[in-house]
Structure 1
Amino acid sequence: MASESDVVDTSTLSCANCGKPANLQCPKCVELKLPREGSAFCTQECFKFSWSSHKSLHLKAKLSSSLSTVDLGHQSSVSLGEGWLYCLKGGRARTPKLPHFDWTGTLRPYPISSKRIVPAHIDKPDWADGGTPIVEPSSDFQRIVEIKSPDLIQRMRETCHIAREVLDAAARIIQPGVTTDEIDRVVHEATIAAGGYPSPLNYHFFPKSCCTSVNEVICHGIPDARKLEDGDIVNVDVTVYYKGVHGDLNETYFVGNVDEESRQLVKCTYECLEKAISIVKPGVRFREIGEVINRHASMSGFSVVKSYCGHGIGELFHCAPNIPHYGRNKAVGVMKAGQTFTIEPMINAGVWRDRMWPDGWTAVTADGKRSAQFEHTLLVTETGVEVLSGRLPTSPNVFPWLNSS
């Protein structure tokens, strides 16, 4: 609870939440000797309302004072830069220090660059500044699947078209020696140039504008300073916010000369998504998507991740329905014309189970084997489905199983 034990000058300090004159101060900020600006509140209610984002200041202060370097396994030590501090905000770290972690594969975290700037004229979602979604968690569309209006659908078409062009721009630069941070820079700049906002940026304090998931990373990998190596596979997950709606898609790419098992894994994952899309139409049960994906993955000798699923999308980044990708799931409901959602199967070469890195974002396979993913944003039409994020004639021909025409 906020405390009045420290004298606060109400003539100069304002509430960190609402801006009114403040006469309470966060006791933890007092203990850590943080500046009074940003730690003062007018009421206990404002303090409680701000707690989820405010507490990140405490973590950053602890990190800044206690750590200057950290051993990440890939070199003797690296500077603990602002980017790494940022990704640990909001309670995302399990401990103020990077803990010992039983890494499941060969990948390790590398330094993260500072948060990229979004120009003031770009329309932003409500988490862009504070890091916490405000409208999304309490929306009725977390439990009701929205039937989109024609206007909203048209805006989603435009947004998904931009998102596709952004992802294609990222795909064109992928080669050995390119860092995932460079991929993030291309995604960020292409999104801004189109007038959009990169939806992942600051979403629950995620520090980058896209997700880059390499090798054993299943999803939500944070772009960093690691250079892609010959033989890697990398998924790039892009979401764009434009005209008040989100468009979401991802693809997994080959880096240089990739081994045959990895090529088959990526191809199978692509096929899983295509087969799932082929059954989308009014009247089909959402749970059937997982059955189709699970059947094809299992027949190919691969497994389906169960911890993450597709989701409704529109004016909200994530909402109903949930779309599990595994068999014998308990998804409720049937598809109706006007609904929009993603299908985004994550397929593993080994076991389906996952583990979380200490950054609170990076999900990896439990056995360290590789994982691949593909995603589209879909619209259920009166007669079937429209792939809003589909490939364009200008999309790079990076998958050998697709006709180059």
Structure 2
Amino acid sequence: MNRAGHLERRRWRHRWRHSLRARLLTVFLLLAFAMTAVFIVGMQSTFASGWREAGVPLVSDYANRLAAEIGSPPDVSRAEALAARLPLAIRIQGPTVNWESHPDRTERRGFDSRAGEMLSRTTVDGHRISFGIGTLPWQRGPHRFGWVTLALLLLSIVFAYGYVRRLLRPLDDIRAGAERFGAGDFDKPIPLRRKDELGDLARRINTMAHDIRGMLDAKRALLLALSHELRSPLTRARLNAELLPATTEGLPERDALLRDLNEMRDLISDLLESERLANPHAALQREPVDLAALVRETVAEMPHAAAVTLCLATDLVPRQLDRTRVRLLVRNLLDNALHYGVDAAEPPRVSLRAAEKGAGVVLQVRDFGPGVDEAQLAHLTEPFYRTDSARQRTTGGVGLGMYLCRLVAEAHGGSFQVHNAQPGLQVDVRLD
């Protein structure tokens, strides 16, 4: 119970620190209570000094006149008339008369013992007459004054909260606008409700979003232009190389040139695709995809993949995926598994199953090759990273395959994990 209470207090403290409205309202209330306390203490100090200088002689003279009117020996009828006419509590104690105007009131409330001799008089016959505060006018009727005061205090708090909420309403608009801009939706700007500092902040954020949209559009246009301008000469160079005459001995230079041109073509394609996917605003062409069927088709299209072991669940429902990019992911992973598991005792294995708690599906690709050094696992999904055993361009590629696979998984809201399976390397891809 104590632990639960402690956690609850921590949650409340976190909410209070996170909420600007709550902190402003707290400051308002503390300031109101502090001002009230200072006012009360100051007025009490002022009246106390004024009471000592002017009030004490007046009250003392008034007590003398009241005691004289009651008489000696004390006349109870006169005391009753005074208590009925004035808001006074009168008590008579003596050898013959013992009477009190408010017997139901306690001594603390009716008679102020701190006043001492100032509000008490002794008659010549030995009776002591004490005066105190009786029933005040507002105490005779219903106790509405306290309820009215409490209601006004609550109304002031509600009004202060409503005003603070209205004052900070632009922050909600700014937060919603920042979320839209972060998701790539720049069509709806932040509404400008006021012309104060918060309104100026919203206007500046709208300007920033407009500039970011312009930069993204310029970057997208640059990628398209780069793709067109580089692919066209590469295609012409590849066609010219293929038209070179062949001899009986062959042209090693021609084959090497074709390999380099093909590699440059693939490199440009991978670079452009990685730039598109690395952009948080990348647009996926989602459609219902039978992932198991897609994996079978991709495996069937790849050379040397006939021996690949498939363990695909058959009860998976179609998911909204980008077919082209998921096909690229499966092809890259399988190509990597075939390349590094060529001399392994078992062929690569591809499995597909539903994720735990229904959170998407998990695609698993494993080879039974030598695996990767543990120190290099964290770098496998970095762009242009190749392991020490794959430094040569003819065998190791350019290091964009695993990077593209990770980007495809993250673009679909999933995850990409690589670890050694002893033996071999295993890649787990979760797609939402």
Q: Which bracket does the TM-score occupy, shorter chain normalised?
A: under 0.3
> Who wins on radius of gyration, i.e. which is larger?
2
Q: How high is the TM-score relative to the length of structure 2?
A: 0.17
Q: Which has the higher strand share?
A: 1
Q: How high is the TM-score relative to the length of structure 1?
A: 0.18
